[in-house]
Structure 1
Amino acid sequence: MSDFLLELRSEEIPARMQAGARSELEKLFRREMEAAGVEAGEITVWSTPRRLALIARGLPQATEAVSEEAKGPPEGAPDQAIEGFCRKNGVNREQLELRDVKGRNTYFAVIEKPGKATKDLLAEAIPAIVRDFSWPKSMRWGAASISTESLRWVRPLSGIVALLGDDVVDCEVHGVTSGAVTLGHRFHHSGDITIGNADDYAMKLRAGHVIVDHADRQDLIRTGAAKVASEAGLKLVEDEGLVIENAGLTEWPVPLLGRFEEDFLEVPPEVIQLTARVNQKYFVCEDAAGKLANAFICTANIEAEDGGARVVDGNRKVLAARLSDARFFWDVDRKKTLAEHAKGLERITFHEKLGTVADKVDRVAKLARWLVEEGIVKAADPDMAEQAARLAKADLVTEMVGEFPELQGLMGGYYARAEGLPDAVADAIRDHYKPVGQGDEVPTAPVTVAVSLADKLDTLAGFFSVDEKPTGSKDPFALRRAALGVIQLILRNGLRLSVRDTSYAACMMRVSQAKPSEPSGDSKEFEQLDLECDPSFVHEGLPDFLADRLKVQQREAGVRHDLIDAVFALGGEDDLVRLLSRVKALQSFMDTEDGANLLAGYKRAANILKKEDWHGAEGEIARTGEEDPLALVDDPDTKAVVDAKMAERHAKALSYTPEPAEKALMDALATSQPAAAQAIAAEDFSGAMAALASLRAPIDRFFDEVTVNADEENKRAHRLDLLAAFRAAVHKVADFSRIEG
């Protein structure tokens, strides 16, 4: 068994591509080994800016000889067919064997394949790996680049080290031949480095000032940056992405601390951090009070003789130029109020079917005020909510956000405070994009909630109303993310709203905006607006989309999918807070013995009713044309009255003395139905489940002691009605037919 080392050396590989390149190299190597019949065990892949390296442990010296069989034509087949079979498998006719296959002699070729040296297999595999390597961006180079058949690589390939044990694996790729020689650090080491085998590779490169293991470089940067910050009495602002990026830019990282002028601290700290991070790949530091300090940490790729003083000074000058630009943007932007900036939104198209960003802002402002005035978002000032909404997008046309789009919203908050707007308005402008995704902070300040919810609802309503819905994996306008944001805002703040009514209001904002003048109040004009707000969008499209997102969110949170479906299947419920409360109560109930046994009783009753095609007294009322009291009432507060009427109907229909178990179930239903209805009306879903639990013993006893399909027609009908009433009582809480178990 031998270890194999492969190093592919090139010009600088972009840091952002290195993680993907490591995965690609391992994948292609395993593919080639598997195709050659070599089992690849432990594989280690490293990267630096100038090389990719792979070490595979425990490869065999050669593959084993194998014997393969091929089935050919039957005996008596034409000579041409037999000869063709022989040519295909590299044998002659005398080497064929005759075997019985289902009573007929058939030719078989037994092909002996000798083992092959792993070294030879690797020599064939390396060029294939290089040729098939997939890069996000690649290039051709040299004289051969005039041909489209020439090699493409991320940067010009300059060297290959290929060693199996102590032996060189000879191969050639695009004029580059393999060997045992590599190069060290570009500045700290001159001359070649000869590698003996895989075991001394990392050690010899480290001696040449190259830390080949990217994880080691990351650790060095992480700890080194924290150390130089601590030595200066500061605290490093941790940034793991920056650690990885700097490790991908250096082969011998040396963190160095520098200072910039304190005057730049007048600029918002997020701007300074983003300027240092994005443009220069620098870390920033905080002082003991947790405020941004006038310090930065750069990662040099050399160990300078002067301790890095010249490196730091050069980086300080570059950062100062960048910060000067940022301060200029900050000063220029504050010369206008946000309201003046907002006028520029008329020049930005939001979507060709939905108008400009200014049009969207107008809709969001009206919707935010509506949410407050309707009492959906409580404790918010409607004037502040509208003002914040009208200014929330104004920073999109500022110089600062033009340079750093990541700061949209945040800069608007800073500009709002700079011009003396109320804190609630500034906070709403700053945070109205939140939550951006799963795990992001969810706003709770009332004005912010109103603006954020209105913004996301308008986006959803707008795109749904122009039929730009997500399809499959395609969601170009991030509507799934917007829907998740709406759900998080509603649930986190306990907002009680009808999704359909709110969707309808958002739709009407857009429709009314499209009119050349304000509605006059004429009923026909409002009817026309109503027609233009597509009912299918209001009652099916957006509400169903939000419900589906809620299902996905709850499943990811560990809620059983069948319990979610059981509650959602009831229909007619679009208060997400109430829906979720019902789901959670159902999940708690189904975890109990009463819940499991009641489910078993329900399924038995449902199966009997399905077999008999029995719809119960309610169904009979509907079939005879008699008014169904259940159809007359949607208000949960009156469910108890309806249930009492149905119980009275059952009692009047009796023409015989019920058996004790039958009477017990009738009494239990008479008690539990109104109790469950009252609990549901009070949104006490745990209480509703408790009322259902009281049916568990009576339904079990009923099945044990009562013959449902009695010979007497009146008994049979009443008992089936009783089971239908039991099913209906359970369905008031959840559709138990959707529950597994």
Structure 2
Amino acid sequence: MPELLLELFSEEIPARLQRRAAADLKKAVTNALIENGLVYESAGAFATPRRLALTVTSLPAASPDTKEERKGPKTDAPQQAIDGFLRAAGLSGIDQAKVQSDPKKGDFYVAVIERKGAPTLDILKDILPAAVKSFPWGKPMRWGSGRTEWVRPLRAVTATFGPDGEDPEIVPFTIEDVASSNVTFGHRFMAPEAIKVRRFDDYVQALEKAKVVLDIDRRKDIIRSDAEQLAFAQGLDLIADEGLLEEVAGLVEWPVVMMGSFDAAFLEVPEEVIIATIRANQKCFCLRDAATGKLANKFILTANLIAEDGGAAIVAGNERVIHARLSDAKFFYETDLATPLSDNLPKLEDVVFHARLGTQYERVGRIETLAAKIAPLVGADVDDARRAARLAKADLPSGMVGEFPELQGLMGRYYALAQGEKPEVATAIEDHYKPLGPSDRVPSGAVSIAVALADKLDILTGFWAIDEKPTGSKDPYALRRASLGVIRIVADNGLHLPLGQLVTDGDLLSFFHDRLKVSLRDAGARHDLVDAVISADSDDILEIVNRVNALGSLLEAEDGKALLAGYKRAVNILVAEEKKDGKTYTGDLDAAALALSEETVLSAAIDLARTDVAARLEADDYAGAIASLATLRGPVDAFFETVLVNDPDPAIRANRLNLLARLRDTMHLVADFGKVAG
């Protein structure tokens, strides 16, 4: 069956946009094909720095014929309504419509609209330029005198359609002054000549001969493999950097991997600074000594051509730039080291954190106070927590952080250690930003925990105070991330931290509950169990997590499932009878009115479980409390097998309903089982 080949050839597309653009092109074209009744077998999209390409296989030669019945107005409707119906249906007269009858609504007109299928080539010449003109580039540009917008000037369009074994036809359309053809172009420098192509397979082969690797993932594999082999030959290991690899693969059409070096004297600078400098300025990979694990004074670069001199000039050029950049970095580092961190604090008075929340200096004061309050709750030394909080933002005015903002905190740790601060204080300066995301590590030292929690809680309480809360998908101040950071720090470190002492805003506590629900659900917890254990005043994150886990374990066991069924049966009976009686049963029992052994046994079991559950909850032994509830399974089953709750004797009936209320209330000490599904 016929195949479509489309290529949009342009000036260099930014690397960060290529993969998404390929996906957007595929989506736009395939959606339009389906809308026009053209089904296909498969579609694939590709990107290089200078082209977006799309192949769609097994398309039909034409769209199918269609038949549609469109309901119109009643036969006695006003003429204006009938005329509108005729126009919409494309009918020249009412005699072209048929009349249908409805027993309830009477007679009405129906138009039978039959459309003949159109040749796929004709459809493609409409939908392909439409896809280009409506393409969702974030910041497109215009070129020449045209009005069409593209991310960079569009230079050529390849568009062919036809069956295997035959010369395909060119899909005819024009984008501004660029007409579609069956011609593309190879590598800008090594094979710039025009190339005539037919179908996707020979297109890919022709590009390979013209020094273009079409698939970005294949370019990544080439770069990774060649870099690792070069490194291995020198006794080195490549420092993995998936983000950089993606970017570099988007900068080259024909990757050629080489190795360069820099002066070993620069290794006196922290390795993170060297890596950041080489990565940011030259898009190069750094290496480690395979034997020692230390950073090596070599780097991997990726060129976009095979140089006549074997790449010597390219390597030398990169080495010159990297030497200059590392010289700057070394200067920043040495200058920063000579300035005590505390001397940077006055500079924070000129840095506005938020117009309504003051300067960074004022914020440091709040974090310091809050860290001192949190320290005893997490086992941290109060003075160390204060000192770390005081210096936590002091590296922000440094030259190195000004050059590489992503190194904030880390450089503060280096400077603090060099200036004689305690190791735990220095570590807290680096770690107080963490975790920055779900894959980032969580602070584990007590001082680090205190300062990290203080930093995040100050952000949250501050923005809640000025009513700048996340709305929908908008969260410009990353408040969701801050709350999830608090949750992870508390849960991962096994801390019983009473948030209610630190968060006085009920809405903010509710926000924590919502984020905790998301976190637990993402970890695989049942949503109903999360709802069952969280109440409006729940402020111990670890306790909530433990309760969800323990409740989940109970309900996975047969005893738990049976107990839940008994609970729901009891509650259903209570709800019905309380509604009928117009009263609430409180669980106050008359022991003398317990007539049957099964209700006596259940009453005793509930009393024993109630006492044990209360004691275990007081001791934070939630798993033990759950285990106590599990002992009720047998007495509950026996009660419902033997005992008639709605006894003819009103006193016995009321007592038995109170017994069920006592069961309900005892189980509610642990969780609201009414919110548990099943």
TM-score (norm 1): 0.85
Cα distance 1:709–1:95, how it changes in 2: closer, same or farther (>3 A)?
A: closer
Give the aligned residue type for 1:405: P
Q: Which residue among 560, 566, 578 is the counterpart of 1:613?
A: 578
Residue 563 of structure 2 corresponds to residue 561 of structure 1: no
In structure 1, the partner of 2:541 is 576
Of the three residues 667, 687, 708, the one matched with 2:604 is 667
Q: Which residue number corresponds to residue 370 of structure 1? A: 373
1:97 Cα deviation after fit: 5.8
Deviations 1:174-227 (A, max 9, x none): 011111122111111142211133221011111111112222211111111112
Q: State whether residues 44 and 56 of structure 2, in contact with CA within 8 Å, keep that contact through their aligned partners in structure 1.
A: yes
Max radius of gyration: which structure?
Answer: 1
Match of 1:357 in 2: 360
- Encode CA deviations 1:90-111: one digit per residue, 9 max, x unaligned: 5555973645433777665555
| 2:512 matched residue in structure 1 | 546
Give the gaps of 5 or more residues in structure 2: 163-167
The one-letter code matched in structure 2 to 1:612 is E
Amino acid at match of 2:657: L
How far residue 430 of structure 1 moved from its aligned partner, in angstroms, is: 1.4
Greater alpha carbon shift after TM alignment, 547-556 vs 108-117: 108-117
2:183 to 176, 181, 184: 181
Post-superposition CA distance 1:147-193 (Å, at most 9, x none): xxx11111111111111122222221101111112211111114221
CA distance in 2, matches of 1:175, 1:701: 86
Comparing 207-216 with 332-341, greater Cα deviation is found at: 207-216
| Gapped regions of structure 1 (runs ≥ 5) | 145-149, 505-536, 622-645
**1:324–1:89 distance in 2 versus 1, CA, 3 Å:** same
Distance 1:672 1:111 in 2: 73
**Structure 1 residues 57-136: aligned runs within 5 Å:** 57-71=57-71, 89=89, 96=96, 98-102=98-102, 109-136=111-138
Moved more, 357-366 or 385-394: 357-366
1:47 partner SS: strand
Partner of 1:160: 157
Distance of 1:731 and 1:694 partners within structure 2: 15
Please name the residue that 1:294 is paired with: 297
- CA distance in 2 between partners of 1:37 and 1:178 (Å): 24
Matching residue of 1:468 = 468
What's the CA shift for 1:40? 3.0
Alignment of structure 1 residues 613-692 onto 2, 5 Å: 613=578, 650=589, 653-654=590-591, 656=593, 658-692=595-629
Q: What SS does structure 1 have at the residue aligned with 2:300? A: strand
Q: Helix, strand or coil for the counterpart of 2:254? A: coil
Would the aligned equivalents of 2:40 and 2:60 in 1 still touch at CA under 8 Å?
no
Shift in alpha-carbon separation, 1:592–1:77, aligned structure 2, 3 A: closer
Report the 3-state secondary structure (helix = DSSP H, G, I; strand = E; otherwise coil) of the residue aligned with 1:59: coil
Counterpart CA distance in 1 for 2:480 and 2:238 is 36
Letter in 2 for 1:556: D
Determine whether 1:601 maps to 2:552.
no
The alpha-carbon distance between structure 1 residues 574 and 126, as it changes in their structure 2 partners (threshold 3 A), is closer
User: Counterparts of 1:371 and 1:699 in 2: how far apart (Å)?
Assistant: 45
Query: Judging changes above 3 Å, is the alpha-carbon distance between structure 1 residues 659 and 614 closer, same or farther for their aligned structure 2 residues?
Result: farther
1:281-680 alignment runs, 5 A limit = 281-288=283-290, 289-372=292-375, 374=376, 376-378=377-379, 380-503=380-503, 537=505, 540-569=506-535, 572-613=537-578, 650=589, 653-654=590-591, 656=593, 658-680=595-617
Residues 1:9 and 2:6 are matched in the alignment: no
The 2-side partners of 1:552 and 1:284 are apart by 38
Aligned counterparts of 1:44 and 1:423: Cα–Cα separation in 2: 53
What's 2:275 paired with? 273
Shift of 1:84: 7.2
Taking a change above 3 Å as real, the CA distance of residues 355 and 70 of structure 1, as seen in their structure-2 partners, is closer
The Cα of 1:301 is off from its aligned counterpart by: 0.6
Q: In structure 1, what residue type is equivalent to 2:572?
A: N
SS at match of 1:416: helix
CA shift for structure 1 position 661: 1.8
Per the TM alignment, residue 239 of structure 1 is displaced from its structure 2 partner at its CA by 1.1
CA distance in 2, matches of 1:66, 1:718: 71
Cα separation, partners in 2 of 1:496 and 1:36, compared to 1, 3 Å: closer
Moved more, 97-106 or 542-551: 97-106
Please, what is the CA RMSD of the aligned residues?
Answer: 2.6
Structure 1 residue 693 and structure 2 residue 659: aligned?
A: no
Shift of 1:85: 6.0
8 Å contact from structure 1 (residues 662, 702) kept in 2: yes
Contact (CA 8 Å) 1:98, 1:105: kept in 2 or not?
Answer: no
In the alignment, is the contact (CA less than 8 A) between 1:614 and 1:720 conserved in 2?
Answer: no
For the 8 Å contact 1:95–1:109, the answer to whether it is kept is no
Q: Decide which moves more: 410-419 or 112-121.
A: 112-121
Does structure 2 conserve the Cα–Cα contact (< 8 Å) formed by 1:388 and 1:425?
Answer: yes
Partner residue in 2 for 1:733: 670
Deviations 1:555-574 (A, max 9, x none): 111111212222223x6542
Q: Distance between the aligned counterparts of 1:124 and 1:185, measured in 2?
A: 30
- SS of the equivalent of 1:296 reads strand
Deviation per CA, 1:462-486: give whole Å up to 9, x if none.
2223333323333222222111111
Name which of structure 1's ranges 394-403 and 700-709 shifts more when overlaid on structure 2: 700-709
**CA distance in 1: counterparts of 2:579 and 2:599, whole angstroms:** 18
Choose 451-460 or 293-302, whichever is displaced more. Answer: 451-460
Instruction: State how many pairs are aligned.
Output: 669
Determine helix, strand or coil for the equivalent of 2:503.
helix
Residues 477-497 of structure 1: per-residue CA shift (max 9 Å, x gap): 222211111111112222223
SS, match of residue 613 in structure 1: helix
> Counterparts of 1:139-218 in structure 2 under 5 Å?
139-144=141-146, 150-165=147-162, 166-218=168-220
Aligned-partner SS, 1:307: coil
Deviates more, 1:16-25 or 1:669-678: 669-678
The answer to which of 720-729 and 111-120 deviates more is 111-120
Question: Are the counterparts in 2 of residues 6 and 162 from structure 1 also a CA contact under 8 Å?
Answer: yes
When residues 74 and 731 of structure 1 are mapped into structure 2, their CA distance, relative to the original with a 3 A threshold, is closer
**Aligned partners of 1:609 and 1:615 also within 8 Å:** no
Q: TM-score, normalised by structure 2?
A: 0.93
The structure-2 alpha-carbon separation of the partners of 1:619 and 1:498, relative to structure 1 and needing over 3 Å to count, comes to farther
- Equivalent-residue separation in structure 1 for 2:161 and 2:585 (angstroms): 84
Counterpart in the other structure of 2:165: none
Determine if contact 1:96/1:107 at 8 Å carries over to the other structure.
no
- CA distance in 1: counterparts of 2:374 and 2:112, whole angstroms: 80
User: Counterpart of 2:395 in 1: which secondary structure?
Assistant: helix
TM-aligned CA distance change 1:225 to 1:661, over 3 Å = same
2:549 aligned partner, one-letter code? K
Mapped contact 2:533–2:547 kept (Cα < 8 A): yes
Question: Alignment partner of 1:242: what SS?
Answer: helix
Q: Partners in 1 of 2:73 and 2:544 — Cα distance? A: 68
**Does the CA contact (< 8 Å) of 2:45 and 2:55 recur in 1?**
yes
Q: Which residue of 1 aligns with 2:27?
A: 27
Tell which deviates more after alignment, 41-50 or 458-467.
458-467
For residue 192 of structure 1, what is the amino acid of its counterpart?
A: A
SS in 1 for 2:58: strand
Task: Quote how far apart the aligned CAs of 1:441 are.
Answer: 0.5
Write the distance in 1 (CA, Å) between the matches of 2:499 and 2:407: 31
Tell me which amino acid in the other structure corresponds to 2:397.
V
Letter in 2 for 1:710: D
Judge conservation of contact 1:168–1:180 (CA < 8 Å) in 2.
yes
